Amino acid sequence: MSLIELEKIRRRVSICTKCDLCKSRTNAVPGKGYYKSKLIFVGEAPGRSEDKQGEPFVGVAGKKLSIALEYAGIPRDKIYITNVVKCRPPKNRIPKDSEKKACERYLKSEISLIKPKIICVMGNTAYHSLLGGSNITKDHGKIIERDGNRYFLTIHPAATIYNQSLLKTLKSDMKALVKILNGIKG
């Protein structure tokens, strides 16, 4: 039963010491959301608010994500949101390859338990980790099928904080995502 298995991952993450990020975190931030969701959203790493509260995308970037989701009619409690690394890197630096490697089992397990129809990849860190990509600005809005998974690419919500035109991009990507999801059979 994937709910129980997900709960196990959550508990493992909360006490994990597999990389040095465990030393500076306040709380590890496991993924959160509906265990049968058709969509998984993957960000980079927790920020300050997430580290404080132990939940993903609850700070300013999370607010932007909520705005875009609401615009597209995606209820936040019907999706699953997680990050490439589950602990906050000091001063929000980009996670190191060694940290991503140490943490990747958790994300892989989340994906294989939930079996979403689409994995929404937000920003370059997730794009690079999951698909080896590097230019989300150019590639956003695209679908990539690989190894039995279907990925949708979009920009990172944090990029929209001081940029209204990028918020528009994120919103229209979310609408496109809904269209694609509705077009998938089964």
170 forms part of the interface with ligand SF4 (CB under 6 A) = no
Distances (CA, A) of 24 to 19, 34, 58, 102: 11, 29, 19, 16
Pick 43 or 169: Cβ nearer ligand SF4:
43
81 forms part of the interface with ligand SF4 (CB under 6 A) = no
87 forms part of the interface with ligand SF4 (CB under 6 A) = yes
Residue 61 binds which entry of ligand URA, ligand SF4, none, with Cβ cut-offs from 5 to 8 Å by kind? ligand URA
DSSP string, 124-146: HHHHHHHH----HHHHTT-EEEE
Structure token digits, residue 92: 């929000």
Three-state DSSP at 93 gives: coil
Q: How far is the CB of 171 from ligand SF4 (least distance, A)?
A: 30
Pick 41 or 171: Cβ nearer ligand URA:
41
Report the 10 Å Cβ neighbour count for 185: 4
119 forms part of the interface with ligand SF4 (CB under 6 A) = no
Residues in contact with ligand URA by CB under 6 A are 43-47, 50, 56-57, 59, 61-62, 83, 158
94 forms part of the interface with ligand SF4 (CB under 6 A) = no
Find out whether 100 and 159 touch, Cβ atoms under 8 Å.
Answer: no
Q: How far is the CB of 129 from ligand URA (least distance, A)?
A: 12
Determine the angle formed by the axes of helices 97-114 and 2-14, rounding to 10 degrees.
160
> Measured between alpha carbons, how far is 99 from 118 in angstroms, rounded to an integer?
25
Chain residues binding ligand SF4 by CB under 6 A are 13, 16-19, 21-22, 28, 85-87, 99, 102-103
